[in-house]
Structures are given as C-alpha cells and as structure tokens.
C-alpha cells in the first residue's frame, strides 16, 4: 500500500459506489430505506444483529479500523457475520474499505454504510492527521511490528547476545536501546535514509536479500508500510511527547459461539493522552486452549471444540484476554440441582451458560474415602465405613466433614492429629522447610510452629504476618527461618509474591514478562521491602551450634539493574506505603488487609485446587490477568467469604467440602464427558506420595520405619517434617525436595518406575506378606469366615464392600491358590495395584 501525493490510498478490493449507485445509497440512508443484501446467513432464528464500532475516529495516516458485525440468536449464542456484510464508503477521498477494514485517505468527515441480511447501519467516520502526516512512532508503531514479526524473541535478535551481531531488547521492552541498535550501531548500515526501501531493516525481513530468520512480512503489508513511513521521515527517535499505552482492551471480551464458528477479535490500545487506536494488526495472539480454539496471526479465532478458551492478546507489554465459549449442550436450561451453599449456586450458573448437566452424587462409600483422604490424608477405618454406610442420620456427610475438621462437639478431636500432620506437610512444602536449607534445629522450629498454628486454627492472615515480620533466633522462633530459606531481597520478593499472592514474579527480574503486567520496577519495588533484612550468627547453642539471628538493619536499598536508580518499596498493584524502620510490617499489613483481593483469591484458589483436582485458576499459583479463572464469580465469592470469616482455614475447607459440587461422582455422563474445567463431575486425583505410602501401610498392616526419627512418634509419612528423611518410595512417587515455592514441584504424573515398584518390588511384597500384617491377622482370627476376610480387605484398600461378582472372583482366586494365606496375600496385592486404590475418585 502506497500513500499517493493526493493522500488517497489505493487498495486492492476496496469498495466504493459511483454515479447513480452512489446517490441511491445516499437516498436510502436519508429516507431510512433498508438495503436488502443477499448472503449465506440463515436469519430464521436470528434474534438481533449489531455492528461494532458505532463510530470511528482515525487520527494518523497509518491508523486502521476494523468492523465486526454480529448475529445474536434466541438461545444467547452469537455468530460473527462480518465477512458476509457489505461496506460502502460515502467518500473515498476520506476513507477506503478493504474487506472489513477502514483505511484513512484524507482529512474530513464521512460515513460508512454497513448492510447485511436486510439490515443497515450508518457509521460516522472522522479522519484527521493525514494532510500533514506525522512520522510513525518508533516506540508505539515500529517496535510492535518487530515484536509481531518475532524479531525480538529469545530465539532471534532478542536473545542474550542477539543474532548475526544484531541485538534487540527482549519483546521490545527497551525501545531506546533498540533505536540505538537499529540506527546507530554497525556504522548505521541497517537503515538508508536517502533511499529507505534499500534499508536492511526492510530488505531482510521481506527476504529481498538473504535472511537467516526467513520472511517475516511482505512488501505489500501494513507492517512494511509502518517501517517505511518511519524511515521516509528520517527514522526519528522516540519522541518525549509520544504517549505510551496504559492498557489494551479487546472486543468481544466474552462471547458464546456455535460449534465450529469463527470470531474476529478487535484490539484497542488506550494511551496516556486519552487516545484509543485499533491495533488489531500489530497485536499478538495466543490461544490458552488450542483443543477448543485456534487463533491466527490477525486475531481470527476458529473454534474447534466445546468448552471455554481464553485467547491472550499482547501489545507493547500490555495484555488482556478474550474468553470464547462453545456450549457443551443446550444453553439457558435451568438445572434442577439442590444447592448446599453459595458454591453450588455459582457453579450451577456456569453450567447453565455452558449447557452442562452435572453427574449424580457419589455414593456414600466413595464420598467417605474421598473426604478422609482430602482432609486428613488417611483412609477411613473399616468400622467407620460400616457405621457410615449403615447410618440413616440426615446430613451425615456434613457431620462427618465437621468431625474430620474438628468443628463439632462429638468426637471433635478424634482426627485432630491427622489433620494437623497432613496440612503441615503442605505448609512445609510451600515454605520450603528443609534441614538442608535451615539446619536440623531450624527445620524443627519451623515445623513445630506450623503444627502449633494449625492445631490452634490460627488465621492464615496471622500466620502470614508472623512469617513476613519475623526476627530473632531461627532455632527459637520458627517463622524466622523464612528469611534463611529465601536469603536475598530478590528471592524474598519472588517467594512472597508467589506464596501469598499467587503471582510469579521471576521473569520480571530481568525483563517485562510478555504474559504479565508486572515490570522490573514492580519487581524491585517488592524486593525493596526486604532490602534491610540481615542475618548473623549467634551462640544460642554454643560457639559451633550454627544458630542464626534475623534482624533489620538501619539501611539498605535495591537499585534498578538497568536504570541504576534506588527503587522505593511499593506493593504489587498498589500505591506506595508509609514505611517505618521495618518496612516488612507495612508490607505484611497491606498483604493481609481486606482491601488486598490478591491475598484471599490466592488462598481460596489453592485450597479449591487441593480438594477439586484443579484450581479455578490453573496452575493454582499462577494468578495473572492472562490466565483467567474458569468461574470468576465463584472465585470472588469464595474470596469474600474467606475474608469476612477472618481468613479461617477450616471455615474455607468446610465451605468447599459441604458443597454438592465437591460430592459429585467422578463418572461423567453424556453431557459432561469432555469437561475437565467446570467441575460438572469430580476430577480424579492421584494420591500424593505420603497418602499412598500411608494407605499401603494401613492396608497391609505394616509399620513403616523411618531412619533418624523416633518410631513411636513418626510411623506415618504425613508426619515427616523434612524431605531429607530417606524413603525411596516417597521419592519415586513424587515427594518434592522443597527447592522452589512452585506447586509444580510435587510431581503427580505417573511413570513406569511407580508401576514397577508397586507391582514387583520386594518392598511392597514384604508388606503384603508381613507375618504380623493384615493377612496374618485375618487368617489367625478363626471367628472370621472367608467372606468376612474378603470384605475386610476391600474395606482397608478401596473403602467399600465388594460386589457379588468381586466376591466370586476373590473366592475363586483363594481356592485356586496353594494355600489360603497365599490366596489372601495375592488378593491384597491385587487390590493395592488397582487404580481405584491409587486414585482419589
């Protein structure tokens, strides 16, 4: 595309009426006559049609504006029919149309007539800045073109040392440095001001001459025109008056589509000076679920499956998402689903939007096993199972939940030790508590503080405040070890943000992360809160005791690595705080304050993920704008309820566990078989390493012996305080080494080593054949029949009674074995190797 001397753009395929046809259009507009344009759209069930935008304003020669025409159907779904519409510019000396895109040609006002399927709209257009054009902005127009073309990616010129002697800042994060590289480095040979078309900056990406990076754009593209315009105006540097984008928005932000539909996205950059520009052509697009939606280079989304997918849009370090949904079934149908609390209400609303029908409730035996494993990490005892299955008490599930959590009067403390032990493991993982990091005494101090906090049901906010403001001996004050596990201000900033806010800051240490809004300044603003934290040795346990004291010094700052300036302490997404001698106190108060929505959202999402098999935001510790929740309303409601109830962890657990959604069967129905994100059936989870080992020991009746720990106090894996306690079984089944704060450190992916260890290892075989184990006890009890023995083995492994067919197969196995003992041992081994035993379903 070339800009001619009369400022009129000549575009292949541009549409304009002339002569009588033109005046016919004008007359039709004046008198309000509907233009009937034949098209392939079936209008029989269309409820309404609309066009976007309702008006256009183009302020620069290189501005463009895209139309979207949408059909709304009676069931609430929509269809993009932009390509079927007819677009006419009333004055082609002001604006031209190519496809669904308007291009400015000359200053003035006009209108564009859009018509489709018997309906017509007149869109006012105002064009300015063309008669006296400004050069393309290097920072706001040239850099986005290079970013879209991939020139500044880590695999190309954005790598640490660049490519072919040419280095750009990663993702265009430093436009001033990029200007120096393009214009001034290599003796200025990358551009030719006297003949811009001969510039290497244009010749190489168009493959007019050899380029190792292949063709990045063509000579007739908008990208080429942007760079050419900049060069033709003398390649000016970034102007101080250039307004920077403060955010990007997308239309549509949400939309329900029909199967196999296409949807064009339109992206706008909003600048500091209040201007808004259509940047659809230079924005970048990524589908966050390609199994449902695939997005092209220019923002055209093709739906290929059912469900909801977010499309991430990036432009100049800013990002947003558009959520597009293809329902699983008929939408809008009201579900007959009894709600136990607000959790169910919010989930049902989402199911109705998606046309999902939930599975039935899980049976009592399945529920009991599930809730025992999820709350105390332990299988229920056979007598508890029998009593629960036989009970006719109303709301017996709610009563059992409260009993496990220690919230009712009957047996309130029965499972307290198991609950404390199980969740101490999780908190130990999050806080990276390990003797390799803080020494044995430090590890015990932190572990005991975690246990005591949980035993007293200390609010999460209080635990957080104690951790972030801890001082003193790491041997006497457990929370002080937080500052030994993470030692530098940078590590503390990353750990604190991910643990308490669910925000991964690691990438912002070096550059503005392309998927996140946080910059290096934001990163070091968090690090500044910890710049004055110091440690020193003490002699609390003797000269060589290795003890450490955590204290706050009088001074200490962090500097921006590129600007060299001192960065003041500023929390994420917040204004600067008034700080005192110990800056951490201001941070901790802000962190747990009710106005900080990130804190509550982070914890409710984590615990939802622990119980439901997947977070509302997943991964559960990656809560960024470009990773939206599958049910925002539920996440917000849970966070508000958690905050209003004083950040009470047991209350949060009770709320989730009592919901009918948590108690659904894991077996999908015809409607929800493809759903793994909206909780229309329970998502099966593999037992954690500690859960599985304890379940194996409980089922076989074996006692585990852990080295270096007193057997009488620590005979269960959920009681282990430290990953340095040696256990090949736990290692194979994914116990985390506690090196990082990331939830991903705990491995949940099955592998061949695990299967072989359960099926063939001497370790498991010894447990099954233990002379004091489960089978030996059953055989020695002569009062039991073989039927009762079989039932007992099913109860201690699968937490249910066997079916009649399973009874028959079990007795056949026992009768065909060399001895009754071996038959029962084989049955126990087989049950321990079933998926039903290894999974929480």
What is the DSSP code string of 668-723?
Answer: --TTTTT-SSS-SSPPPEEPPHHHHHHHHHHHHT-----TTS-TTT--SGGG---T
Which pLDDT score, from 0 to 100, does residue 17 have?
A: 39
Whole-angstrom Cα distance, residue 305 to residue 692?
36
Higher pLDDT, 671 or 831: 831
Whole-angstrom Cα distance, residue 375 to residue 412?
14
User: Which residues have C-beta within 8 Å of that of residue 582, sequence separation ≥ 6?
Assistant: 469, 532, 552
Neighbours of 5 (CB within 10 A): 5
Which segment of 42-46, 78-82, 613-617, 803-807 scores lowest on mean pLDDT?
42-46
State percent of the chain over pLDDT 70: 92
Q: At 141, list the tokens.
A: 């127009």
450 with 564, same domain: the answer is yes
Q: How confident is the model at residue 488 (pLDDT cuts 50, 70, 90)?
A: very high
For the chain, the first-to-last Cα distance in angstroms comes to 60
Q: In this structure, what DSSP letter does residue 237 have?
A: P
Q: At 539, list the tokens.
A: 């002699």
296 and 263 Cβ atoms separated by less than 8 Å? no
Give 292-343 pLDDT, tens digit per residue: 999 999 999 999 988 889 999 999 888 899 999 999 988 878 899 999 999 9
Which pLDDT score, from 0 to 100, does residue 562 have?
A: 81
516 with 449, same domain: the answer is yes
For residue 724, tell me if it sits in a domain. Answer: no
Which pLDDT score, from 0 to 100, does residue 671 have?
A: 87
Question: 460, 540, 524, 448: which is closest to 490 by C-alpha?
Answer: 524
Q: At 19, list the tokens.
A: 């002569």
Which pLDDT score, from 0 to 100, does residue 550 have?
A: 93
Whole-angstrom Cα distance, residue 212 to residue 214?
6
- Domain edge (last residue) among 232, 264, 299: 232
Domain that holds residue 470: 441-589
For residue 661, tell me if it sits in a domain. Answer: no
Average per-residue pLDDT in the chain?
Answer: 88
Which pLDDT score, from 0 to 100, does residue 193 have?
A: 87
pLDDT at 7 exceeding the cut of 50: no
Whole-angstrom Cα distance, residue 180 to residue 237?
9
Give 498-513 pLDDT, tens digit per residue: 999 999 988 878 776 6
Which pLDDT score, from 0 to 100, does residue 410 have?
A: 58
pLDDT at 34 exceeding the cut of 50: no
**SS3 labels along 294-336:** EECCCCEEEECCCEEEEEEEEECCEEEEEEEEECCCCCCCCCC
User: Which residues have C-beta within 8 Å of that of residue 750, sequence separation ≥ 6?
Assistant: 686
822 with 694, same domain: the answer is yes
pLDDT at 148 exceeding the cut of 50: yes
Q: How confident is the model at residue 425 (pLDDT cuts 50, 70, 90)?
A: very high
- Domain edge (last residue) among 268, 296, 326: 326
For residue 33, tell me if it sits in a domain. Answer: yes
Q: How confident is the model at residue 11 (pLDDT cuts 50, 70, 90)?
A: very low
106 with 205, same domain: the answer is no
Residue 756: Cβ-neighbour burial (10 angstroms; 0-12, 13-18, 19+): exposed
96 with 27, same domain: the answer is yes
For residue 228, tell me if it sits in a domain. Answer: yes
- Domain edge (last residue) among 589, 619, 649: 589
480 with 572, same domain: the answer is yes
257 with 306, same domain: the answer is yes
Give 121-145 pLDDT, tens digit per residue: 999 999 998 888 778 888 888 888 8
Average pLDDT of the segment spanning 745-751: 83
121 with 144, same domain: the answer is no
Which pLDDT score, from 0 to 100, does residue 29 have?
A: 39
CATH number at residue 77: 2.60.40.1080
Higher pLDDT, 23 or 820: 820
Give 264-294 pLDDT, tens digit per residue: 999 999 998 888 999 999 999 999 888 899 9
Whole-angstrom Cα distance, residue 616 to residue 306?
18
For residue 670, tell me if it sits in a domain. Answer: no
- Phi, psi for residue 202 in degrees, rounded to 5: -105, -35
Give 752-789 pLDDT, tens digit per residue: 888 888 888 899 999 999 999 999 999 999 899 999 99
For residue 391, tell me if it sits in a domain. Answer: no
For residue 147, tell me if it sits in a domain. Answer: yes
Q: At 374, list the tokens.
A: 């999820």
**Beta-carbon-side half-sphere exposure of residue 483 (alpha carbons within 13 Å):** 29
Average pLDDT of the segment spanning 67-76: 89
266 with 227, same domain: the answer is no
pLDDT at 414 exceeding the cut of 90: no
Give 529-540 pLDDT, tens digit per residue: 999 999 988 776
For residue 287, tell me if it sits in a domain. Answer: yes
Q: At 129, list the tokens.
A: 């800045």
645 and 459 Cβ atoms separated by less than 8 Å? no
445 with 566, same domain: the answer is yes
Give the helix/strand (H/E) hosting 376.
Answer: helix 364-376
571 with 501, same domain: the answer is yes
**SS3 labels along 120-188:** EEEEEEEECCCCCCCCCCHHHHHHHHHHHCCCCCCCCCCCCCCECCECCCHHHCCHHHHHHHHHHHHHH
164 with 268, same domain: the answer is no
**Overall number of domains in the chain:** 5
């Amino acid at each position: 595309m070339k800009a001619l001397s009369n400022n009129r753009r000549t575009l292949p395929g541009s549409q304009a009426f002339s002569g009588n046809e033109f005046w016919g259009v004008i007359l039709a507009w004046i008198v309000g006559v509907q233009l009937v344009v034949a098209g392939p759209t079936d209008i029989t069930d269309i409820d309404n049609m609309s066009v976007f935008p309702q008006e256009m304003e183009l302020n620069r020669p290189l501005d463009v504006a895209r139309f979207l025409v949408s059909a709304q159907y009676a069931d609430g779904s929509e269809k993009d029919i932009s390509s079927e519409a007819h677009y006419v510019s009333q004055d082609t000396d002001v604006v031209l149309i190519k496809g669904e895109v308007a291009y400015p040609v000359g200053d003035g006002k006009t209108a564009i007539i859009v018509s489709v399927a018997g309906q017509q709209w007149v869109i006012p257009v105002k064009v300015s800045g063309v008669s006296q054009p400004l050069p393309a902005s290097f920072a706001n127009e040239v850099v986005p073109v290079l970013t879209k073309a991939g020139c500044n990616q880590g695999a190309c010129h954005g790598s640490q040392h660049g490519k072919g002697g040419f280095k750009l800042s990663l993702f265009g994060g430093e436009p001033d440095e990029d200007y120096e590289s393009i214009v001034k480095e290599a003796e200025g040979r990358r551009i030719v001001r006297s003949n811009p078309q001969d510039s290497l900056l244009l010749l190489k990406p168009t493959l007019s001459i050899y380029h190792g990076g292949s063709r990045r754009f063509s000579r007739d593209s908008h990208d080429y025109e942007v760079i050419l315009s900049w060069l033709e105006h003398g390649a000016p540097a970034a102007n101080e008056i250039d307004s920077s984008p403060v955010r990007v928005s997308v239309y549509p932000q949400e939309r329900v589509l029909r199967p196999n539909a296409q949807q064009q996205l339109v992206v706008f950059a909003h600048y500091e000076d209040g201007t808004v520009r259509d940047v659809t052509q230079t924005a970048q697009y990524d589908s966050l679920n390609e199994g449902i939606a695939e997005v092209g280079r220019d923002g055209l989304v093709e739906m290929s499956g059912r469900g909801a997918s977010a499309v991430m849009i990036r432009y100049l370090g800013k990002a947003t998402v558009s959520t597009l949904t293809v329902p699983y079934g008929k939408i809008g149908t009201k579900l007959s689903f009894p709600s136990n609390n607000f959790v169910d209400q919010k989930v049902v609303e989402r199911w109705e939007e998606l046309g999902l029908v939930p599975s039935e409730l899980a049976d009592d035996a399945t529920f009991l096993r599930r809730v025992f494993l999820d709350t105390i990490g332990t299988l229920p005892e056979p007598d508890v199972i029998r009593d629960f299955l036989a009970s006719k008490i109303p709301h017996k599930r709610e009563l059992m939940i409260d009993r496990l959590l220690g919230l009712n009067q009957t047996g309130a403390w029965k499972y307290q030790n198991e609950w404390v032990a199980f969740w101490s493991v999780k908190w130990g993982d999050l806080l990276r508590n390990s003797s390799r990091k803080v020494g044995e005494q430090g590890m015990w101090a932190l572990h005991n503080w975690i246990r005591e906090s949980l035993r007293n049901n200390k609010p999460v906010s209080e635990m957080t405040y104690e951790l972030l403001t801890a001082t003193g001996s790491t041997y006497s004050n457990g929370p002080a070890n937080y500052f030994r596990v993470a030692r530098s201000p940078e590590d503390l900033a990353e750990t604190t943000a991910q643990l308490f806010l669910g925000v991964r800051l690691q990438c912002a240490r070096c550059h503005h992360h392309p998927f996140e809004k946080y910059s290096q300044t934001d990163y070091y603003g968090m690090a500044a809160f910890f710049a004055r934290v110091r440690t020193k040795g003490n002699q609390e346990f003797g000269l060589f005791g290795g003890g450490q004291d955590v204290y706050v010094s009088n001074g200490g700052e962090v500097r921006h690595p590129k600007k060299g300036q001192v960065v003041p302490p500023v929390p994420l997404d917040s204004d600067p705080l008034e700080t005192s001698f110990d800056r951490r106190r201001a941070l901790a108060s802000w962190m747990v304050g009710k106005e900080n929505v990130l804190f509550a959202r982070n914890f409710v999402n984590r615990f939802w993920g622990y119980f439901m098999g997947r977070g509302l935001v997943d991964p559960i510790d990656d809560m960024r704008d470009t990773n939206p929740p599958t049910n925002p309303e539920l996440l917000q409601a849970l966070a508000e309820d958690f905050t209003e109830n004083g950040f009470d962890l047991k209350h949060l657990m009770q709320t989730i566990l009592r919901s009918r959604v948590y108690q659904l069967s894991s077996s999908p129905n015809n409607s929800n078989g493809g759903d793994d994100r909206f909780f229309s059936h329970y998502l099966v989870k593999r037992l954690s390493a500690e859960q599985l080992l304890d379940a194996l020991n409980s089922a076989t009746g074996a006692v585990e012996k852990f080295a270096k720990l007193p057997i009488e106090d620590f005979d269960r894996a959920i009681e282990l305080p430290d990953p340095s306690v040696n256990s090949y079984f736990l290692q194979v089944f994914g116990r985390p080494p506690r090196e990082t704060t990331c939830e991903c450190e705990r491995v949940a992916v099955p592998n061949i080593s695990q299967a072989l260890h359960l099926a063939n290892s001497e370790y498991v075989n010894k447990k099954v054949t233990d002379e004091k184990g489960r089978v030996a006890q059953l055989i020695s009890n002569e009062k039991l029949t073989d039927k009762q023995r079989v039932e007992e083995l099913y109860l201690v492994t699968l937490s249910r009674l066997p079916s009649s067919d399973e009874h028959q197969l079990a007795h056949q196995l026992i009768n065909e074995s060399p001895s009754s003992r071996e038959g029962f041992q084989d049955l126990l081994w087989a049950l321990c190797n079933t998926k039903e035993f290894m999974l929480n379903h």
